[in-house]
Amino acid sequence: MPEIPSESLHEAIRRALNAGDFDTVRQLSGALGQAIIREARAAAPGGRQAVINKGLSRLREHLSLARVLRAHVANQLQANTTLSLYQQAGGHRHSWHFDA
């Protein structure tokens, strides 16, 4: 598997999150962790902490965005479910007609 730079993976995760493609995000997150470790090992001893801190900061950004998107999807699902329940109830109404 080719070694993909962490910056490219960060951008790919951001695009996948914005598209709501959480399966791709899960796959890319594993590759991102490996890329951060690889880049930290390759960095000069004084720069390793900076690489790790930058990667951690980006991961926190992704987590925050994922939480916002998840909440938005949950709200949409709840609204659609409620609407669906009301529509179903309306279809089962019985009416009576009395002639006087």
Give the residue with greater pLDDT, 2 vs 35: 35
Q: For 9-62, how does the pLDDT look when each residue is reduced to its tens digit (9 = 90+)?
A: 999 999 998 888 889 998 999 999 999 999 999 999 889 999 999 999 999 998
Contact 16, 24 (CB under 8 A): yes
Look up residue 4 and give its two tokens: 């993909």
Look up residue 75 and give its two tokens: 């709200």
| Cα–Cα distance for residue pair 89/21, rounded to 1 Å | 34
| Cα–Cα distance for residue pair 25/9, rounded to 1 Å | 10
Q: For 51-96, how does the pLDDT look when each residue is reduced to its tens digit (9 = 90+)?
A: 999 999 999 998 898 888 888 888 888 887 776 666 555 555 556 6
Domain ranges of the chain: 6-86
- Global pTM reads 0.67
